[in-house]
Amino acid sequence: MSEPKKLFIKTYGCQMNVYDSERMAEAMGAEGYVTTEVAEEADMVLLNTCHIREKAAEKVYSDLGRLRPLKQAKPDLKIGVAGCVAQAEGEEILKRMPLVDLVVGPQSYHRLPEMAKAAEKGEKRVDTDFPEEDKFDHLPDRPKAAVRPTAFLTVQEGCDKFCAFCVVPYTRGAEVSRPAERILKEARGLVEKGVREITLLGQNVNAYHGAGPDGDWTLARLVRELARVDGLDRIRYTTSHPNDMADDLIAAHGEEPKLMPYLHLPVQSGSDRILKAMARKHTAEQYLRLIEKIRAARPDMMMSGDFIVGFPGETDADFDATMDLIRAVNYGMAYSFKYSARPGTPAAEKTPVAADVADARLQTLQALITQQQREAQQGMVGREVSVLFEKPGRLKGQMVGKSDYLHAVHVDTDLPVGAIAHVRIVSSAPNSLAGEVVAA
């Protein structure tokens, strides 16, 4: 028998891409490909790309450039570009990088196996359709999914919000929710394979409104039904938009113990003027009131957010308003980015903030976030949390897992990967906590 072909996938960008890469690997698996961690061994290299900021998109081209010697040494090597850069740039990629054999967007990757076959015959294809058919109906049923105890599950894709800075509505298309029964089936399948924690994914996951057996389900309903699946112990979801944070979802946080007390709720700015220019369609005050409501339902909720600094027109006063908002919320975790003008978005037409000003603001903001993050971690010392062990730690006899609040926790224990233990937190290091098992 001949050696199976090897597929190397590099994933950029968000968790949805991580999920998509797994599904693409499974689809190629059905064609006899096995995945490899070593690009040099591969018969096919697939870059699953991100277009969100210029740096992310340009990284793809420099990585493609670095594949050139490999392709020269191994002319049969096929190179594919998938994901959001593929969607945004399509044919352009082939023009700029002739070594690329196929380009496939995020909504049509169920056609990847067929495109790979064409590529083997020397035919280059570009597929950036938003096809009528649902790709999920044409993908294999998570055959090899998860030897890990945690998994991602995409429930909603695309975005109709068109924030002034963002490419996602263009690269991922309109908002679509997967039918509830399919999600439940996929979740049960994952649990049978040993998964104990599922993170539901969507660009605007809390806008989920998938068809259920008795009409459309909200995300809250979906969460409550998933919580009934035996063996599924933890449920998370990301990313949410403040305007879709419905009352039934907030209530679920107070009532459903399997729903973890960590919420990523990006706000981008604390200035109403900038929020308006960004087309976020809410004010800073509304966001703060919303967080009060969420904390009323679940007082220990760990908040996470995203911030953009240096959006066109941002003044010192606007930036100060963002700093005030961060102080008011007190985040457990947050991501922050320097504004990057993206082709085709309305904000890209506007005059950018000077780069040195934006850099300085980013540093100031990140210092505050880092301080809040440290304090949140420090505040865990002495508390008891549940930890789901994900992998052995660097030291012998050690396991690493995540707490309910998504902190990484190191524990000395004989318990296996996939175990959930009650752990008392004993100390806090910059990027993780250390704890000891109280009860398995």
Q: What's the CA gap between 77 and 71, in Å, rounded?
A: 6
Site string for ligand SAH, 253-272 (x = CB under 6 A): -------------x-x----
**Minimum gap (Å) between residue 137 Cβ and ligand SF4:** 25
Length of the chain: 440
Q: Does 49 bind ligand SAH (CB under 6 A)?
A: no
Q: Does 136 bind ligand SF4 (CB under 6 A)?
A: no
> Is 241 known to sit in a ligand binding site?
no
The DSSP-derived string for 194-254 is: T--EEEEE-TTGGG---EEBTEEPPHHHHHHHHTTSTT--EEEEE---GGG--HHHHHHHH
Please, which residue, 204 or 403, has the CB nearer to ligand F3S?
Answer: 204
Tell me which of 60, 64, 166, 385 binds ligand SAH, using CB under 6 A. Answer: 166
Tell me which of 342, 361, 402, 410 binds ligand SAH, using CB under 6 A. Answer: 342
| CA 2 remoteness from chain centre | 37
Please, which residue, 242 or 393, has the CB nearer to ligand SF4?
Answer: 242
**Minimum gap (Å) between residue 164 Cβ and ligand SF4:** 9
Tell me which of 224, 241, 264, 342 binds ligand SF4, using CB under 6 A. Answer: 241
> Is 14 known to sit in a ligand binding site?
yes
Cα–Cα nearest to 307, from 238, 230, 369: 369
| Interface region with ligand SAH, contact rule CB under 6 A, candidates 162-170, 177-185, 287-295, 386-394 | 162-170
> Is 386 known to sit in a ligand binding site?
no
Give, for 341, the enclosing helix (H) or strand (E): none
Q: What's the CA gap between 318 and 306, in Å, rounded?
A: 16
**Minimum gap (Å) between residue 379 Cβ and ligand F3S:** 30
Determine how β-strand 5-11 pairs with β-strand 333-338. unpaired
Q: What's the CA gap between 112 and 7, in Å, rounded?
A: 12
Determine how β-strand 102-104 pairs with β-strand 78-82. parallel
| Partner whose footprint covers residue 169, from ligand F3S, ligand SF4, ligand SAH, none (CB < 5 to 8 Å by kind) | ligand SF4
If you search the block for the tokens 């990088």, which residue do you land on?
Answer: 97
End-to-end CA distance of the chain: 46
Backbone angles phi, psi at 232, to 5 degrees: -90, 115
Q: What's the CA gap between 228 and 263, in Å, rounded?
A: 21
Q: What's the CA gap between 100 and 268, in Å, rounded?
A: 35
Tell me which of 7, 8, 13, 332 binds ligand F3S, using CB under 6 A. Answer: 13
Please, which residue, 50 or 369, has the CB nearer to ligand F3S?
Answer: 50
| Interface region with ligand F3S, contact rule CB under 6 A, candidates 165-173, 347-355, 363-371, 387-395 | 165-173
Token couple for 398: 């050690």
Determine how β-strand 215-216 pairs with β-strand 211-212. antiparallel
> Is 159 known to sit in a ligand binding site?
yes
Please, which residue, 295 or 338, has the CB nearer to ligand SAH?
Answer: 338
**Minimum gap (Å) between residue 172 Cβ and ligand SF4:** 8
User: Across the strands, what pairs with 336?
Assistant: 307
Tell me which of 150, 171, 304, 340 binds ligand F3S, using CB under 6 A. Answer: 171
Q: Is 177 left (phi over 0), alpha (psi -120 to 50) or beta?
A: beta
**Residue 51 near residue 81 (C-beta atoms within 8 A):** no
Q: What's the CA gap between 188 and 208, in Å, rounded?
A: 19
Q: What's the CA gap between 99 and 124, in Å, rounded?
A: 10
Tell me which of 154, 171, 204, 372 binds ligand SAH, using CB under 6 A. Answer: 204
Token couple for 229: 């699946």
Q: Does 14 bind ligand F3S (CB under 6 A)?
A: yes
Tell me which of 61, 136, 170, 337 binds ligand SAH, using CB under 6 A. Answer: 337
Q: Does 178 bind ligand SAH (CB under 6 A)?
A: no
> Is 413 known to sit in a ligand binding site?
no
**Residue 84 near residue 53 (C-beta atoms within 8 A):** no
Touching ligand F3S, residues 70-89 (CB under 6 A):
83-84
> Is 48 known to sit in a ligand binding site?
no
Q: Does 239 bind ligand SAH (CB under 6 A)?
A: yes
Touching ligand SF4, residues 198-217 (CB under 6 A):
203-204
Determine how β-strand 44-49 pairs with β-strand 5-11. parallel
Site string for ligand SF4, 148-177 (x = CB under 6 A): -----------x-xxx--x-xx--------
Q: CB neighbours of 227 closer than 8 A, spacing ≥ 6?
A: 235, 256, 258, 259
Residues within the interface to ligand SAH (CB under 6 A): 52-53, 165-166, 168, 203-204, 239, 241, 266, 268, 306, 308, 337, 339-340, 342
Residues within the interface to ligand SF4 (CB under 6 A): 159, 161-163, 166, 168-169, 203-204, 241
- Annotated binding-site positions for [4Fe-4S] cluster: 14, 50, 84, 159, 163, 166
Residues within the interface to ligand F3S (CB under 6 A): 13-14, 16-17, 50-52, 83-84, 167-168, 171-172
